[in-house]
Amino acid sequence: MKTLTGFMYYPDSLAESGGVTYFLARSEEEYTKYLGIMTSMPGATGQLLADFRDGQGIARDSSASTHLYPLTPENAAALSARLPWLRPQPLGLCATAGFGDRLGLATPGHVRAVENTGIKPIFAQQSVRENARTRRTPQQVLDDAMWGVFQTGWREPWGADADHLKTPTDIDAFYDAGFTFFTIDPGEHVDNATQADSLETLREKVRGLPWDRLDARPEEVSQRYLNQTFQIEDFSLAFEEETLLRALAKYGRAIAHTVEMSRHLVGRSGKEGYDLEVSVDETHTPTSAEEHFLIASELRRLGVQWNSLAPRFTGRFEKGVDYIGDLGEFEAQFARHAAIARHFGTYRLSLHSGSDKFSIYAIAARQARGLLHLKTAGTSYLEALRVVAQVDPELFRKILLLAIERYEEDRASYHVSAELAKVSVGENVPGQPDAELAPLLDQFDARQVFHVTFGAVLDRFCAPLMDVLRANENLYYEYLETHFKKHLEPLLQDRPFNQNTG
C-alpha cells in the first residue's frame, strides 16, 4: 500500500472512468477502509459524484479534489454502476470454484489463489444457514466480496452464489441483492427411507407423488424408462421396475420442488440471467447412476435449465477435513456421474463440502474433463483462526474454549464426526503452549469443532477477531493463498481447466 495524506491506499484498486479516479483507502491507525474518489474537475465535483453519499474531502487544489466515502451499500451500488467489472455475472458452463467467506474479509486472498489459473471464481458465496449464524444479509455478503474485488483490481468475470436455497422467499432475498448463481437444495423433499422400502411400499409412494406438478402420469414415466437401454459412453443404463420406483419415490418430490423453485427464479429474471445448480448432496445415501439419469431427464423434460448438479457421492464429505472413503470406489462412481453429465451436455458436476478434500481433486479433474464446480465454505474461517493463533494466542484460547463448549449443540446441522474427547488439549486449554495452538487447526477433531461453531464464536468474539484480521490482513491473505492453491493446483493437471468453455 502507499500513503495519501494520512491514509494508505491500495494501488491495484486504482481505476479511471469518465474523468474520475476511484481507489480504495485505509486509515493508518483504525484500519477502516474507504472509497476514495479523485476528480480533476473540481467545479464539477458535485455533479460527478451525486450518486455517492457521506463523503469527506481530504485534499483539494486548483487542479483536483479528493474525497473519501464510507463503504455503504449505497456507495457500493454507485461504484459498481460506474465500474461494471465489480458486478457479478453468470459464468455459464465452465470450470469454477466457489469461495465461501463467513467474515467478509477473505476475497483478496481468494483472488491471489485463483488468478492465472483459468478457473472462474465465485467470490460471494453464502447459504441461508450461514447468514443466520453470522447475522449477515445477502447484500452484505455481496458487497464485501465486491470491495475485495475492487481492492485487488480483479477485472475478469466473477460470480455470486446464493447457496442451499430451500424456498422461493430465500431466492428473492439473494436475487434482490444481485446474486447470479442460485443453488437449489431440495434435500427436505428427498425420501431417504426408500432404500429399505418393499416393492409394494415403493408402488404406493410413487402413486402418491404430486403428478400434477410433475406434468405426467405414472404410466407415462414407466413407458419412458422401462424396457429401454440408455447408452452412456462406455456403459449402459437399464431400469427394472424396482430401480425406477425406488428412484421416483426417493427423488420425485425433490424434482417437483426444484421445478417450482426454478420457475420462480425465471419469473424474477428470465431464462438467461443466472446460473442454476441443483444440489442433492445432503442426503443419507449416495445418488446412483440411474437416479442421476432420472433427475436430469425429468428436469430437462420439465424445462429446467441448470448449469451444475451436486449428487451425493459415495464416501463421507465431512466439513473441514479430507474425503473419508475408498478412493477407487469414489473414482468409479464419479466417472459414471461425469459421463452422464457429458451425455446431457448442459451442466457439470459440483463437489459440495469441497473444502480440504485434497485426496480427490485430481480424480475429479481427470474424470470431469473440465466440467466441474468446486464449492468451499468454512475453510477460509479456519485460516482466519490460524492468524489469531499466531498473533493473539489468548484470544485463540478463548475461542477454543467456547468452541468446545458449543460443539455438541452446533454440530446438529452439519456432517461431522469429531469427538471432543479426541481434541488433544482436553481440559488444559489455558496451559496450552502458544506453539501448540495453530497445529490444532490441522488436527481432525479440533478442526471440525472449530468449523461448526463459527456462529457462537462470532456472537461473542466478532469484534476482537475482526480487529486482529484487519490489523494483519496481509498475513491472512498469505494463509488463504497458500491454502487455496492446494485446492486448485490439482484441478489444473487436466488441461481443459485452463480453457474457457463457457
The residue among 73, 8, 4 whose CA lies nearest residue 471 is 8
Q: Which three cell numbers stand for residue 386?
A: 490460524
Residue carrying C-alpha cell 478412493:
327
How far apart are the two ends of the chain, measured CA to CA in Å?
A: 35
Answer whether 386's CB lies under 8 Å from 438's CB: yes
Q: Would residue 233 show up in a list of annotated catalytic residues for this protein? A: no
Angle between helices 327-344 and 361-368 (to 10 degrees): 30
List phi, psi (to 5°) of 399: -65, -40
Answer whether 140's CB lies under 8 Å from 420's CB: no
DSSP 280: -
Q: Which member of 161, 163, 197, 298 is catalytic?
A: 163
Q: Which member of 144, 170, 197, 277 is catalytic?
A: 277
Please say whether the dihedral angle defined by the alpha carbons of residues 212, 218, 222 and 223, taken in this order, is positive or negative: negative
Compute the distance between CA of residue 248 and CA of residue 241 in angstroms, rounded to an integer: 11
List phi, psi (to 5°) of 47: -70, -40
* Count of CA atoms in the C-beta half-sphere (13 A) of 162: 29
Number of residues that make up the chain? 502
Written as one letter, the residue type at 471 is A
Compute the distance between CA of residue 26 and CA of residue 36 in angstroms, rounded to an integer: 9
Residue carrying C-alpha cell 474454549:
401
Diameter of the chain by CA atoms?
86
Compute the distance between CA of residue 396 and CA of residue 186 in angstroms, rounded to an integer: 37
Q: Would residue 12 show up in a list of annotated catalytic residues for this protein? A: no
The residue among 401, 486, 404, 390 whose CA lies nearest residue 445 is 404
Burial readout 442-480 (b: 16 or more C-beta within 10 A, e: otherwise): ebbbbbbbbbbbbbbbbeebeeebbebbeebbebbbebb
Active site residues: 163, 277
